[in-house]
Structure 1
Amino acid sequence: MSSNANNPLAKGLLGAGWRPLGRSLDWEYLGHLALRDTWKLSQKTLDIASDLADALSRREHPWWANLLNAFSENMQYELDEYWDYITPEPAAPDYRFKDTLSIDRPVVQAVGRDSIPIDYVLNRLQETVILRILALLGRPDSITQYYLDRHFEFPVEQFVDWDRMLVPGTLFAYWSAHQVWLKICLSQQQGKQQYSLIAIELLPLINKTAYNLAVMLSGYQSRIGQLASPYAIRSFPQEVQAFTDAVQQAVLDGDHLAVLVHGEPGTGKTAWAQAVSKEILQPLGFVTFILDHDAVENFAPPAYLERVCLIVNEADNLAQNRASEVAQASGKTEHILGLLDGTLYRSVIDESGLHAQQKLVVILTCNTTERLDPAVLRKGRIDLISQFTYRFV
């Protein structure tokens, strides 16, 4: 008994604040029916008129019994069916709304100890972006739900947050100012709900909400947050600051940039990469991914992000010369070459997803270039290279 009392569905949608959604007569819609579906409209109108006449004109019953018969369950069903035909259905996304970003919530990490949870972190990132967009949009103009062959609406003035919404069916919310729909429905995975943002143009909202995110992909230490930079760019030596100016200009001029900095340990290569990402790239809307040796072989930039920065540290241990046995036993070198070229993840475009015209910046740091595969240093892959010599740390 207590478990039933704690179940929100035990009191139904009406008890949870929802109310039946009435379908209103739209004269413009009715006019379209009359012009374009004249025969069917006439037939249905004559049928319902005939049924009503039969219900009210039974000679073997008194007038009051005939009147009650007009309100019988069968007659009510026929009237509801006719009303649904002559009135438009509740609004829903149409063919113009092509941009879609979806995630199954809650995002749960389900991997073994020998697995790298990249998918989990990227799903968390996608969930974070969707929730940030919902927070930016605020209270919707309408919230409707279809459940058990009935339409319901929720008073928007009573809306608090999406986690508190009761969604046993399919929920739609709409923001007219941004032309964005939210669809929530039960996922194929038990106990999960699929959140889908649907819009004519979703990328501006994604760019506005994802610009300051950073993702560290490093095995079970992976996390999503904001980038921390221990040193400001102005604290580096003058020659490094001059190289930084060249990097900044190259970022502004092109859509793809690959940078390599090398030098002995303690020369500030990693700190510089983080400073560039935080002070230059983040204000331009870039999302930063820091990849370690476990992540680099299984990573491709999310297609829905327009501006992506990849930081790969210790590249000399990852993109090693493929003539060596170590490199031959690993696919990391080929993967880094694919990231530098952009061919690995751009070769096939999945038509079912949301794809931005991506701007990519790759920053590689290493102690020495001697162990790097010659293909990494080939002209056209690395745009800018610098050796750090000042003992910064």
Structure 2
Amino acid sequence: MSFDYFRSNEGTPTNNNRQSLLASGWRPFHRELDWGFLWQLLYSDTRELSQKGLNLASTVADTLGRTNYAWWANLLNIVSDNTRYEVDKFWSYITPDPLSPDHRYKDVLTTETPIVQFVSRSSIPIDYVLNRLQEITVLRVLKLLERPDIITQYYSERDFYFPVERFVNWERLDVINTVYAYWSKYDIWLQIDPYDRGRRQYTLMATNITPLINKATYDLAIMLSGYQSRVGKVHSQFPIRTFPTDIQDFTDLVQQAVLNQNQLAVVVHGEPGTGKTAWTQAVAKEILVPLGYVIFILDHDAIANFVPPTYLERICIVINEADNLAQNRASEVAQYNNKTEHILSLLDGTLYQSVIDDSGIQIKQRLVILMTCNTTERLDPAMLRKGRVDLMYEFVQRFV
């Protein structure tokens, strides 16, 4: 049992947009009578239901009881705009609204798409790459979710739905106003808001979206640099088994520590050419990526401005030439930058855990930091205190 109607607005922009929705496959949503919902309404809101029913009956009675019109004119007036509006308002009250997200869905991940990069001589494109990573994550999650159970859109005081069997992809979906989609299997909502020039904002809302994010970000690596930044995959030229035996033994210790600890910091040092950077790449590819870690490779320009994304559960940060970044603060060179303090805060986690944001996704992160340096003599002593760096090893053999 259902009730719905169209208003006549031929030639108006609103009607043109509505016709565009209909032409692209959207269909008017007919509110269905739910006896369970009506019974609950009668039980919990009897007074309001009675009042609205009386108001509707009064409107219909006034229409039918006009003495200055013929009886057939009064019947025709039943379907006038005013009467239909009152009937529709009452029908909307006694029938359940289309499904929509509520306060239960506290895991929120949002991205604008496509991401726009603002180029400036004085800026490092860190924000652009991190935004690009977030866009990739959201779009990959949507790909994993596949076809939703429902797709709805509210426009011009009407609810529309898109037949899910006709759904192809989100880019081809006509979005004029806010669109909602729902996957009952995962209890996840998608909200799409249109912007100008074809841009959109996608917002995922869920009770627990972390498992899907972990799948979506598998095998990702991000290089953040003042020269070039990109999102891709870790490349390792030398497998771990090609390193000297002592380094392979140290790698086994690192792997065990990764499995046992939520946070791990490793420093490897040695002369140039001993394979320190190649080792971090091999560890990232062979040990950390299979465990679901997202790899961030930071240079000296990026380290001072990097904040780990809170929606990622497992993060590995690779810092090469740490002795040029986390220098002893007693030296004159270290007085002119804050990179030492920033690396210390990454090791401690204090900079990001001191204030908890109520919005978005807040999870207990697992963090691995791999640092290389030519010598530990220039490192700030605070870095080497117990509790900050867990494992340290010197590379002594030339590695080709």
Taking structure 2 as the reference length, the TM-score comes to: 0.93
Task: Confirm whether residue 81 of structure 1 aligns to residue 89 of structure 2.
Answer: yes
CA distance in 1, matches of 2:345, 2:66: 81
User: Which ranges in structure 2 are unaligned for 5 or more consecutive residues?
Assistant: 1-15
1:153-302 → structure 2 map (5 Å cutoff): 153-186=161-194, 192-302=199-309
CA–CA separation in structure 2 for the residues paired with 1:88 and 1:11: 26
Runs of 5+ consecutive residues of structure 1 not aligned to the other structure: 1-7
1:23 and 2:31 are equivalent in the alignment: yes
Question: 1:297: how far off?
Answer: 0.5
User: Is the contact made by 1:173 and 1:183 (CA closer than 8 Å) also made in structure 2?
Assistant: yes
User: Is this contact kept in 1: 2:106–2:359, CA < 8 A?
Assistant: no
Q: Decide which of 350, 354, 359 is 1:352's aligned counterpart.
A: 359
**Match status 1:101 vs 2:109:** yes
Q: Which amino acid aligns with 2:374?
A: N
- Give the secondary structure class of the aligned counterpart of 2:171: helix
1:82-114 Cα shifts (integer Å, max 9, x gaps)? 111111111001221111101122211114111
Q: Tell me, yes or no, if the aligned pair for 1:29 and 1:87 is still in contact at 8 Å.
A: yes
User: In structure 2, which of residues 378, 381, 384 is the aligned counterpart of residue 374 of structure 1?
Assistant: 381
Corresponding residue for residue 37 of structure 1 = 45
1:99-151 Cα deviation digits (max 9, x unpaired): 11011222111141110111111010011110000000001111001122211
User: Do the aligned residues in 2 keep the contact of 1:215 with 1:224 (CA within 8 Å)?
Assistant: yes
SS in 2 for 1:162: coil
**Size of the alignment, in residue pairs?**
385
* 1:361 to partner: Cα distance: 0.3
State the AA in 2 paired with 1:106: P
Letter in 1 for 2:281: Q
- Residue 370 of structure 2 is aligned with which of 360, 363, 380? 363
**Any conservation in 2 of the 1:333–1:373 contact (CA below 8 Å)?**
yes
| Paired AA for residue 85 in structure 2 | Y
Letter in 1 for 2:58: S
Q: Does residue 141 of structure 1 match 2:145?
A: no
Shift of 1:53: 2.3
Segments of 4+ moved more than 4 angstroms: 8-11
- Give the letter aligned to residue 107 of structure 2: D
Partners in 2 of 1:9 and 1:364 — Cα distance? 56
Instruction: Give the conservation status (yes or no) of the 8 Å contact 1:117–1:220.
Output: no
CA RMSD of aligned residues (A): 1.5
1:191 deviation in Å? 5.7
The answer as to whether partners of 1:181 and 1:198 remain within 8 angstroms in 2 is yes
Aligned to 1:313: 320
One-letter code aligned to 1:358? Q
TM-score (normalizing by structure 1): 0.95
- Structure 1's 330 and 190: CA in aligned 2 closer, same or farther, altered over 3 A? farther
Aligned to 1:289, what secondary structure does the other structure show?
strand
Report deviation, 1:386: 0.4
